[in-house]
Homo-oligomer: A and B are copies of this chain.
Amino acid sequence: MVYWQVVMSLDGFIAGAGDDMSWIFDIVDAEAAVGDDHVAATGAIVMGRRTWEVEDRDRPGIYGGRFQGPLFVVTRHPPEPAPAWMREGGMQGRFVREGVATAIAHAKEAAGGRNVGLLGAGVARQAIELALLDEILVGVSPVLLGDGVRLFDRHGAAPVRLEAGRVAQQGALTNLSFRVL
């Protein structure tokens, strides 16, 4: 199963203007939005270059460092050298130049039957367009931002239908799950 876990403001932003994430850390522990059981069920991660840059800048380590395993970063321009945190503690970080579909294929193989997690709106949008995303797990943060990086930014295409699943409140977050139809 390929899933996308993301925290957003009520008005649909996953980051403020300029990729600012401070609003989120002020209000909720975004890492805590992903439970330990969820981390344990994740066999590999695919993330985009932009998300990776924010991660690399702000707080290296996936899910607060709890995820250790194969990590695939989609980018046409891999940084040289790869940062140390991508190699430490079994991270097995790797850059993929061939795009999202290839990265997800690698990740599925590496996950050994466990789930593949996506990080980053761009990667998730492409996965949806390629019909490779199964579930969206959204933690709704109790805030209105008004501006920033949108959950799903796409023009002129048909709506993507979902099916609502579980709902749970966890601290300040309201966690919603949706199956992509």
Contact = CB atoms under 8 A, between A and B. Distances in A.
B142 A163 contact: yes
A160 B141 CA distance: 11
Interface string A150-181: 11111111011111100101001110101000
A82 interface: no
Contacts of A10: 12, 136, 138, 151-152, 162, 176, 178
Number of this chain's copies in the complex: 2
A144 interface: yes
Interface residues of A, number: 41
Nearest to A160: B144
A161 B146 CA distance: 12
29 contacts: A10-B136, A10-B151, A10-B152, A10-B176, A10-B178, A11-B12, A11-B150, A11-B151, A11-B152, A12-B150, A12-B151, A17-B155, A17-B156, A140-B176, A142-B161, A144-B151, A144-B160, A144-B162, A145-B159, A146-B154, A146-B157, A146-B159, A146-B160, A147-B155, A147-B156, A164-B173, A164-B174, A167-B169, A167-B174
Interface of A: 8-13, 16-17, 23, 27, 128, 136, 138, 140, 142-147, 150-157, 159-164, 167, 169, 172-174, 176, 178
